[in-house]
């Protein structure tokens, strides 16, 4: 599933660090960014609320942003 620019949530919020460069400050920053991106996808009717919740839960269980 991609947005109007052809980007998936994984592309918009990569695990190694923000697209702007560097690494995630912490795990919470990564999860927050995924939550925001998934919320935007839901608002655009690209995913359901259940899908959004599953995406955020997966992000929360990941090691992204952990150092």
27, part of any domain: yes
Q: Which of 54, 67, 65 is nearest to 29 (CA)?
A: 65
pTM, two decimal places: 0.95
| Assigned domain for 31 exists | yes
Q: What is the pLDDT of residue 36?
A: 99
Give the pLDDT confidence of 6-64 residue by residue, as tens digits. Answer: 999 999 999 999 999 999 999 999 999 999 999 999 999 999 999 999 999 999 999 99
Give the model's pLDDT for residue 67.
82
Can you read off the two tokens belonging to residue 5? 């620019």
| Own/partner long-range contacts of 4-12 (Cβ < 8 Å, ≥24 apart) | 4/44, 9/34, 9/37, 9/38, 9/41, 9/55, 12/37
Number of domains comprising the chain: 1
User: Would 2 be classed as within a structural domain?
Assistant: no
Domain range for 16 is 9-61
Q: Per the domain annotation, does 33 fall within a domain?
A: yes
pLDDT value at position 24? 98
Looking at the domain assignment, is residue 3 inside a domain? no
């Amino acid at each position: 599933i991609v947005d109007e620019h052809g980007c998936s949530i994984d592309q918009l919020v990569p695990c190694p660090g923000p697209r702007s460069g560097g690494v995630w400050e912490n795990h919470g920053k990564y999860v927050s960014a995924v939550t925001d991106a998934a919320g935007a996808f839901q608002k655009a009717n690209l995913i359901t609320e259940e899908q959004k919740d599953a995406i955020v839960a997966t992000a929360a269980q990941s090691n992204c942003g952990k150092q």
